[in-house]
Amino acid sequence: MLGLTKAQIAEARAKGAGPAGGGGFAYMKGPDDALVEYAGDHPAERFNHVHLYQEDPLCAQLWYEKHLNAPPRAGWGGVRASEADCKVPRGADRTWPALNREGMFRAPRAGVEFGDVALIWYANQGETPLVGSRGQLQDHIALSVADLDTWVEKLLGEGVTFLEDPYPLGDTRAVMIEGPSHEALELVEVK
């Protein structure tokens, strides 16, 4: 599990244990109070992941695998679920360092990869259901596809919710669909 619970932090302090050193991660506030994570000890500086909350992270992973052909993030979570058992209660303990002061519930967690960029999910941190991302600080995530018409046909056949039908986008076209926890996903045709 990433991070330590309050009990684990107290135990580490009592033993005089400190951070292992080397690469680590931290958060800073960016424009509009966006949280920006930076991580060290990587061979190159680059954009490599996005954290999102999902009502059911394991179910979200299955949704992205099924509808967007995204492979699960290797070594992330280690739990394989089916649609029958993907609704797993949120863990009881918060851990730190965290995206928020009060700590984070990090179980269950799941993720998928699009090339070398990962979408990583933690369970909803609050008691209020998640709302759509449109109009929020993080409005949507865009993914490129080679043949938009083929993807539209596939997703319509699978009952995926369309937020916007195909529309022109510069010299190409795009479509906006909704993910499992109301996140907006734009599919942009790249030829």
Structure confidence at residue 95 (pLDDT) = 92
Chain-wide mean pLDDT for the chain? 89
Structure confidence at residue 76 (pLDDT) = 63
Is 67's pLDDT higher than 70?
A: yes
Give tens-digit pLDDT for 168-190: 999 999 999 999 999 999 999 99
> E strands along the chain, which residues?
25-29, 35-39, 49-54, 94-95, 104-105, 109-114, 117-123, 140-145, 162-169, 172-178, 184-189
Q: What is the mean pLDDT of residues 73-90?
A: 83
Give tens-digit pLDDT for 131-152: 999 999 889 999 999 999 999 9
DSSP SS3 for 120? strand
Domains parsed from the chain with CATH numbers: 1-8+26-129 (no CATH), 131-191 (3.10.180.10)
Say which range, 19-23, 33-37, 69-73, 141-145, has the weakest mean pLDDT. 19-23
Q: Is 10 exposed, middle or buried (0-12, 13-18, 19+ CB in 10 A)?
A: exposed
Q: What is the mean pLDDT of residues 69-91?
A: 85
